Amino acid sequence: MPREWRFDATPHGKPFLLAPLAGLDVSLSHTRGMAAVAIASGREVGVDVESFLTPRDAIKVAERFFAREEVALLRAESDPILQSEMFFAIWTLKEAVLKADGRGLARGLDSFVVNLSPPGVTSDAGESYGVAQWRRGGFFIAAAALGEAQFCIEEAHTSALAATERSFEA
């Protein structure tokens, strides 16, 4: 039962499940009005969710944090709305990979390149990640796992979650 779950964190702050189901990897993310949880058995996993807002300086942020190839991709898009959507697609994939990696921002957002079509990751270190991405309303959601992975998304609204929580207490 979830109330019995006990968590700890790695030296870089990534949470992991101690008990009762050791061996599961968990990743959490939330933003205005949306939460995302990824759970995997036997592999490192990461998830990120971001609400769509038009960033004031998407190119400047990308130039500071993204790989050169990703900055070039953003610059090639002249439509500001599509450029913002592309920015968040790249950002959420990068965050999910960093969370799966376990080092977080200590690794650096420019240490690998994400591809949007099809979603993928290129790394000089030769790491292989399975990635997936979804759009739900005004939200971008991305998941990544070390190694090959297949993802599925299950949606629940707060009323359904509240009913589930009550069932855990029975």
Helix segments in 3-157, DSSP class H: 58-65, 68-76, 80-101
Q: Which residue from 95, 6, 1 is spatially nearest to 49, judged by alpha carbons? A: 95
Reading the block at residue 40, the tokens are 């995997």
Note whether residue 1 is domain-resident: no
Note whether residue 32 is domain-resident: yes
Most confident of 66-80, 106-120, 151-165: 66-80
pLDDT of residue 167: 38
What average pLDDT score do residues 86-104 get? 90
Note whether residue 2 is domain-resident: no
Average pLDDT, the chain: 82
pLDDT tens-digit series, residues 31-79: 888 888 888 888 889 999 999 876 778 899 999 999 999 999 999 999 9
What's the burial of 97, exposed, middle or buried (CB within 10 Å: 0-12/13-18/19+)? buried
| Token pair 């921002």 in the structure block, residue | 105
Provide the domain limits for residue 165: 8-169
Note whether residue 126 is domain-resident: yes
pTM for the whole thing? 0.83
Helix segments in the chain, DSSP class H: 58-65, 68-76, 80-101, 158-169
Domain holding 82: CATH number?
A: 3.90.470.20
Domain count along the chain? 1
pLDDT tens-digit series, residues 7-44: 888 888 777 777 766 677 888 888 888 888 888 888 88
pLDDT of residue 64: 92
Reading the block at residue 29, the tokens are 């993310």
Give bridge partners of residue 139 from the DSSP assignment: 51, 136
